[in-house]
Structure formats: C-alpha cells, structure tokens
C-alpha cells in the first residue's frame, strides 16, 4: 500500500540508526541487515511494520548497498583519474623533446624523452579510467529473494516479479541484472579487477617518480615533499610513497575477492562474507591513491638540466648502440665492435668522453661523428610516439 511505502520511507532516516550497535548485533545472524530490519520495523510502527523487507533476503540488501557505495567511490576515482591524465598530458606536451637517460634493469640504456615517459604514464591512467567507467556503468542491483527465484513476491501479490529488479534498478540508478547473482559474483570480480589495475597503473608512475627523485638523480621532485621527524633537510616523496604502498596491497585484496567466485549453492556460507572487508579496503586504498595521484602529477617539477647532465654520466656510451651501427658501415661489424669495446674501457678508466676518443683514431679521420655522439640526437621517434599518445582522449 502507498501508506506503507510512505511510512517506511519516513522511518528510513540514517540518523535514526546506531551503526555501531547494528554492527555489534550483526554477529548474531552473520550480517548487519538482520538487526537493521528489526530496528526499521520497530521505527515504522505496528500498522505498517509487517511491510518492511517483504520478499527480499539479507544478501539482496547488502549486495545492492555495496553497489551503491562502489558507484559513489568509482565516480570519485574516475574524476581523479581524469585530472591525473590531464596533468600528465601537460607534462608530456611540455617536455616532448626533453632528453633524458632511458633506464633498463636499473642501468642507463639509450636516450629517451621525459615527454614519452609521461605519455606512457598517462596511457596507463587512461586505461584505468576506461575500466573504472565501464565497471561503474555495469554495477547491478541485487534482488532474488531467499534462493534467487523471486518466489516470495508472488505470495505477496506480485503478478510478475521478474519486473521488480528492473524497477528497483531504475530507482537506484544501477543496472538491472539478467539473473540474481547471489553466487554469480561477476560484479565483485569486475570491481576487484578494475580497482587493483587502477592501483597498479598509478603505482607505475609512483615507482618511476621514486627513482627519479632520489638525491643522486633528482630529475623530478614532488611539489610539496613531506618532512622527516629526525632530519630537517628531508623533503620526502610522500604522495608517491602512499601510492606505491596502495599498489602493493591491492593485488592481495583482489585475490580474496576472486577467491569468493567459488561460491556454493544458491547462496553461500563464507564466500560472500569474505568479500566485505577486502572490497571496502580496496575501494579506500584505490580512492586514496587516485587522489594522491592528482596531487603528485599536478605538482610534479621536472629538472631538464639534470636530465641532460645525466646523459653524459657514461662518458658518451649511452649512444653506443647508434655508434655500433654507424661504425660498422665504415669499419665492418667485427672491427667496430672491437674498437668500441676498447674505447668504452678507456672512457671509464681515463674519464674521457667516447666522442673525444673516437676523434683521435686515425682510422676514423674524415668520418663525421658529431651527431652520432650527441645523445640528444638519438631519441628515435620518441616525439612522434608522444604526439600519437596525446591524441587519445
């Protein structure tokens, strides 16, 4: 009856209920919906109290509430990912041609650009944004009754109970599921995957920043580093640290949620319950990482001079790949390799540049190697790749 609906709506004021007390009473029945229904029934009153929680089961309420909480969290995460992607886009465009050492297995490899590095970070963030958006738009209500058959609704006079989930979904702004999903946990697995991926995608940026902001590298810096309780000179990369911590915790939380896919029968004992804490933690961790990523990327400072100086740390050997190819055309492949191996050793022991040592070789008189020994001229197609990456919206 309309009167019952109005009475339940009036009584369902969140301020009326003591969440801590409900949590304490939840142990008796294994979930907080049971004491909540009892409290709501009392609040509605004797006349309309019997209409509270008709036909649904506790898991219907918990799962739907979980989807509503997840939707709100994903909306915030999505917005923060948009801001982070925009900040990284500005960094990539502004440093399109800023040469820096490319590092592989912790060592200098060949030159790259900071623009390409930032474009790569942005690409991962956009991947995460797209996944978050897809999962957000797919979050369903849960309404199946005691064993997923909607049977009780017919007892209460509903002619076609299969229409109820759709109406319920429209009221709440969620999706209508094809079937009740009490033990068909695709929505939870999708949440686990997109949240863990997002934390990891942001963790990639954080991991790189943590390397590049080391004192002995100092190619980037967080805009407002945190201090130390013992060392006044410290400006710690706090945002990157927090993101990196979240990225390491998220996969284990997601693993628990994936483990709950193996849920028995029409409603499970334990598998559903095991989801509650890890999903909550995963939403909080990833949400926090997304907000930290906004602060990190919008405040990140880049030292192009330090990047350029570091290109010379290996005495010019950072362009040995290019020189190998160019000298092979002049000296032959075997001799070129032999010569570069010898000069590489001398460059380190004598502290001289590879270009200087090459210029002294009689066999290379008249061979122009100025461009080939300039690391800023050996960034390949980094600029074009950056441009292509920035076309993605």
Residue 35 falls within a domain, yes or no? yes
Residue 154 falls within a domain, yes or no? no
For the residues 165-186, what does the mean pLDDT come to?
Answer: 98
Check whether residue 126 and residue 262 sit in a common domain: yes
Q: What is the CATH number of the domain that holds 200?
A: 1.20.200.10
Q: How many helices (H) and strands (E) does the chain have?
A: 15, 4
Residue 114 falls within a domain, yes or no? yes
Q: What is the CATH number of the domain that holds 18?
A: 1.10.275.10
Check whether residue 41 and residue 82 sit in a common domain: no
pLDDT, tens only, 257-272: 999 999 999 999 999 9
Check whether residue 289 and residue 342 sit in a common domain: no
For the residues 339-356, what does the mean pLDDT come to?
Answer: 95
pLDDT, tens only, 286-302: 999 999 999 999 999 99
Report the number of distinct structural domains present in the chain. Answer: 3
pLDDT at 224: 74
pLDDT at 230: 53
CA–CA separation, 136 and 175 (whole Å) = 10
Domain final residue pick, 308, 333, 348: 308
Q: What is the CATH number of the domain that holds 322?
A: 1.10.40.30
Contact between 35 and 25 (Cβ < 8 Å)? yes
CA–CA separation, 100 and 308 (whole Å) = 6
Check whether residue 77 and residue 201 sit in a common domain: yes
Reported residue count of the chain is 393
Share of the chain above pLDDT 90, in %: 95
Q: Where is 209: in which H helix or E strand?
A: helix 186-212
Check whether residue 30 and residue 106 sit in a common domain: no
Check whether residue 326 and residue 262 sit in a common domain: no
pLDDT, tens only, 220-261: 999 875 555 455 456 799 999 999 999 999 999 999 999 999
For the residues 71-87, what does the mean pLDDT come to?
Answer: 99
pLDDT at 189: 98
**Residue-by-residue DSSP string for 310-369:** HTTTTTTGGGHHHHHHHHHHHH-HHHHHHHHHHHHHHHHHHT--HHHHHHT-GGGTT---
Is residue 191 classed as helix, strand or coil in its secondary structure?
Answer: helix
Tokens 């050492």 belong to which residue?
101
pLDDT, tens only, 134-157: 999 999 999 999 999 999 999 988
Residue 153 falls within a domain, yes or no? no
pLDDT, tens only, 24-43: 999 999 999 999 999 999 99
**Residue-by-residue DSSP string for 96-117:** TT-EEEEEETTEEEEEEEHHHH
Residue 49 falls within a domain, yes or no? yes
pLDDT at 227: 56
Give 205's pLDDT tier (boundaries 50, 70, 90).
very high
Instruction: Flag whether pLDDT at 103 surpasses 70.
Output: yes
Residue 152 falls within a domain, yes or no? no
C-beta neighbour count of 283 within 10 angstroms? 21
Check whether residue 333 and residue 211 sit in a common domain: no
The CA-atom distances, in angstroms, between 325 and each of 108, 319, 336, 354, 355 are 19, 10, 8, 15, 15
Check whether residue 179 and residue 202 sit in a common domain: yes
CA–CA separation, 293 and 223 (whole Å) = 12
Residue 175, strand partner residues:
140
Domain final residue pick, 265, 285, 308: 308
Check whether residue 121 and residue 103 sit in a common domain: yes
Check whether residue 206 and residue 104 sit in a common domain: yes
CA–CA separation, 182 and 264 (whole Å) = 10
Catalytic residue set: 228, 267
Check whether residue 199 and residue 282 sit in a common domain: yes
Domain final residue pick, 275, 308, 341: 308
Contact between 109 and 317 (Cβ < 8 Å)? no
pLDDT at 157: 85
Residue 103, strand partner residues:
108
Residue 172 falls within a domain, yes or no? yes
Q: Average model confidence (pLDDT) for the chain?
A: 96
Domain hosting 251: range is 60-146+159-308
Residue 285 falls within a domain, yes or no? yes
Check whether residue 106 and residue 243 sit in a common domain: yes
pLDDT, tens only, 44-78: 999 999 999 999 999 999 999 999 999 999 999 99
CA–CA separation, 348 and 69 (whole Å) = 59
Is residue 111 classed as helix, strand or coil in its secondary structure?
Answer: strand
């Amino acid at each position: 009856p309309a009167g019952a609906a109005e009475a339940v709506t009036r009584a369902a004021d969140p301020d009326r209920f003591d969440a801590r007390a409900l949590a304490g009473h939840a142990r008796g029945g294994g979930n907080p919906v049971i004491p909540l229904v009892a409290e709501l029934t009392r609040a509605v009153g004797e006349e309309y109290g019997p209409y509270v929680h008709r036909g649904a089961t506790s898991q219907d309420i918990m799962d739907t509430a979980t989807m509503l909480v997840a939707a709100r969290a994903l909306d915030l995460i999505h917005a923060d990912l948009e801001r982070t992607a925009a900040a990284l886009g500005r960094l990539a465009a502004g440093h399109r041609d800023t040469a820096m050492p490319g590092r592989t297995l912790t060592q200098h490899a060949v030159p790259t650009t900071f623009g390409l590095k930032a474009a790569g970070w942005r690409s991962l963030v956009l991947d995460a944004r797209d996944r978050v958006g897809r999962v957000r738009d797919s979050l369903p209500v849960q309404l199946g009754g005691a064993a997923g058959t909607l049977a009780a609704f017919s007892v209460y006079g509903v002619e076609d109970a299969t229409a109820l989930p759709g109406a319920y979904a429209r009221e709440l702004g969620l999706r209508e599921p094809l079937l009740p999903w009490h033990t068909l946990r695709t929505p939870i697995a999708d949440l686990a995957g997109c949240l863990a991926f997002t934390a990891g995608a942001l963790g990639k940026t954080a991991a790189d920043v943590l390397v590049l902001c080391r004192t002995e590298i100092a190619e980037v810096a967080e805009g407002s580093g945190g201090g130390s309780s013992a060392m006044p000179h410290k400006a710690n990369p706090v945002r990157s640290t927090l993101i990196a911590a979240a990225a390491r915790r998220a996969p284990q939380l997601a693993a628990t949620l994936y483990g709950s896919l193996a849920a028995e029968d029409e409603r499970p004992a334990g598998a559903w319950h095991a989801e509650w804490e890890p999903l909550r933690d995963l939403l909080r961790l990833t949400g926090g990482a997304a907000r930290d990523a906004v602060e990190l990327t919008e405040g990140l400072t880049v030292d192009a001079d330090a990047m350029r100086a570091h290109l010379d740390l290996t005495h010019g050997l950072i362009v040995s790949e290019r020189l190998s190819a160019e000298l092979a055309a002049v000296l032959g492949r075997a001799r070129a390799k032999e010569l570069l191996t010898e000069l590489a050793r001398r460059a380190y022991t004598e502290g001289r540049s590879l270009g200087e040592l090459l210029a002294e070789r009689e066999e290379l008189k008249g061979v122009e190697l100025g461009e080939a020994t300039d690391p800023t001229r050996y960034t390949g197609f980094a600029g074009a790749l950056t441009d292509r990456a920035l076309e993605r919206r």
